[in-house]
Homo-oligomer: A and B are copies of this chain.
Amino acid sequence: MDLTDVAALAQPTGEKIMLLVLDGVGGLPLEPGGLTELETARTPNMDALLAGGDAGLHVPVATGVTPGSGPGHLALFGYDPLRYRVGRGALAALGVEFPLQPGDVAVRGNLCTVDGEGVVTDRRAGRIATEEAEPVLDLLDGIRVAGAQTFVRPVKEHRFLLVLRPEEATDADIEDTDPGVTGVAPLDVVAGSPSSDRAARIAREWLARVPETLSGQPRANMVLLRGFATLPDWPLFPDVFRMRSLAMAAYPMYRGVARLVGMDAVAVDDDPGALLPALEERIDDYDFFFLHVKGTDKAGEDGDFRRKVDIIERVDEVLPALRETGIGVTLITGDHSTPAKMKSHSWHPVPFLLHGGPGRGHRSEGTAGLGESECARGALGTIRGCELMPLAAARAGRLGKFGA
Q: Across the interface, do B394 and A347 meet the contact criterion of CB distance under 8 Å?
A: yes
Q: A-side binding surface: helix, strand, loop or mixed? A: loop
Choice from B70, B359, B390 contacting A404 with Cβ under 8 Å: B70
Knowing A5-B82, A61-B402, A361-B342, the reply to whether A51 touches B68 (Cβ < 8 A) is no
Contact with B along A354-387 (1 / 0, CB 8 A): 0000010111111000001100111111111001
The reply on A186 being an interface residue by CB < 8 A is no
Please tell me which one of the listed residues B62, B346, B366 contacts residue A33 in the complex, with CB atoms under 8 A apart. B366
Q: Given contacts A32-B52, A57-B381, A372-B363, is CB(A67)–CB(B390) below 8 Å?
A: no
Shortest beta-carbon distance from A365 to chain B in Å: 8
CA distance A135 to B349 in the complex (A): 58
Q: How far is the CB of A377 from chain B (nearest CB, A)?
A: 7
Of listed A69, A339, A401, residue having the most chain B CB within 10 A: A401
Is A391 an interface position by the 8 A CB rule?
A: yes
Q: Which residues of B contact A88 (CB under 8 A)?
A: 404
Q: Which of B29, B63, B71 is A364 in contact with, Cβ under 8 Å?
A: B29
**Chain B neighbourhood of A348, CB < 8 A:** 361, 363
- With A and B bound together, what is the CA distance between A28 and B342 in angstroms? 38
Which has the most chain B C-beta neighbours within 10 Å: A361, A392, A400?
Answer: A361
Specify the chain B residue showing the minimal Cβ separation from A9. Answer: B65
With A52-B32, A63-B391, A376-B381 already in contact, the answer to whether A402 and B68 are too (CB < 8 A) is yes
Kindly state whether residue A91 has any CB partner on chain B within 8 Å: yes
Chain A count of residues within 8 A CB distance of the other chain:
71
CA distance A262 to B401 in the complex (A): 26
Contact B379 A67 (CB under 8 A): no
> Would you give the shortest CB distance from A328 to chain B, in whole angstroms?
15
Measured CB to CB, the closest approach of chain B to A32, in angstroms, equals 4
- Min CB distance A394 to B, Å, is 4
Chain B residues near A29: list those with CB within 8 A: 362-364
Least CB separation from A72: chain B residue: B403
Most B Cβ at <10 Å: residue of A57, A62, A342, A394: A62
Contact with B along A161-195 (1 / 0, CB 8 A): 00000000000000000000000000000000000
Which residue, of A346, A392, A402, has the highest number of chain B Cβ atoms within 10 A? A402
| Additional 5 contacts, C-beta under 8 A, given A29-B363, A34-B364 | A32-B52, A32-B362, A66-B402, A347-B391, A363-B373
A-B contact pairs, 19 of them (CB 8 A): A1-B62, A1-B65, A9-B65, A28-B361, A29-B363, A63-B384, A63-B391, A64-B390, A65-B399, A66-B400, A67-B401, A71-B403, A337-B361, A342-B361, A345-B401, A349-B380, A363-B373, A376-B379, A377-B377
9 pairs of A and B residues whose beta carbons are closest in the complex: A64-B390, A381-B382, A68-B403, A64-B394, A63-B387, A1-B62, A71-B403, A33-B364, A64-B391
